[in-house]
Amino acid sequence: MGNEILTAIRERRSIYRFKPDPISDEEIRAILEAGQWAPSWTNTQPWEFIVVKDEARKEKICDVAKNTLLIVPGGTIEGCSCIIVVCVDPARDPYHYIEDGAVATQNMALAAHSLGLGTYWAGIFNLDKTDGSLEEKIKAMLKIPDQIRVVAILPIGVPAYSKEGERRWLRDMLHYEEYGNRAEYLKL
């Protein structure tokens, strides 16, 4: 079965290098609206988005975020057209703010892909709010209030390459009625 949404989900990949081509404000707005319309627990919508287009700020964020790219050979997010910093307010939803922020981030990553753009989801959230963590550095850099948490940064731009992806077989992760019961495998 195929449709536009399923195709976008299957084809989206993390992109670590970008062409210097600009992206339009209209594209950025469409991506932000995808985050705005994400589901959240009891519709609390605890997210806040910071759009960073200033070259000096982007460079500083890229310098901090390079620690998240150490596992990607040649990985960088330099050259992106903008960075969206995804924040959440735990006071708006003290129980599910992390998941809510993650869903908004995923919506924006899928929207970027659907527009022919690339992005990389750089997870920034630090469970323990450790001093000196990536989250705390990003918060200080962007003057984010202490009570607001940073879930992720999404550098967005025109991809400099494309790549194929692979996934585990569905049958290897699927269980029926209880964990470990694979007896009734559907022909998926």
Instruction: List, for residues 7-25, the tens digit of each pLDDT value.
Output: 787 778 888 889 989 999 9
Q: Identify whether 66 is part of a domain.
A: yes
Q: Identify whether 23 is part of a domain.
A: yes
Residue 61 maps to which CATH number?
A: 3.40.109.10
Dist. CA 45–CA 96, nearest whole Å: 10
Q: Identify whether 180 is part of a domain.
A: no
CA distances from 1 to 5, 7, 154, 185 (A): 11, 10, 30, 18
Instruction: List, for residues 150-177, the tens digit of each pLDDT value.
Output: 999 999 999 988 878 787 777 777 887 7
CA distances from 23 to 18, 30, 33, 83, 115 (A): 11, 12, 16, 11, 10
Q: Identify whether 147 is part of a domain.
A: yes
Count of domains forming the chain:
1
- State pTM to two decimals: 0.86
CB 81 within 8 A of CB 156: yes
Please say if the pLDDT value at position 76 is more than 90.
no
Dist. CA 98–CA 109, nearest whole Å: 16
Instruction: List, for residues 100-149, the tens digit of each pLDDT value.
Output: 999 999 999 999 999 999 998 887 777 776 777 888 989 999 999 999 99
Q: What burial class does residue 165 get, using C-beta atoms within 10 Å of its C-beta: 0-12 exposed, 13-18 middle, 19+ buried? A: exposed
Q: Identify whether 131 is part of a domain.
A: yes
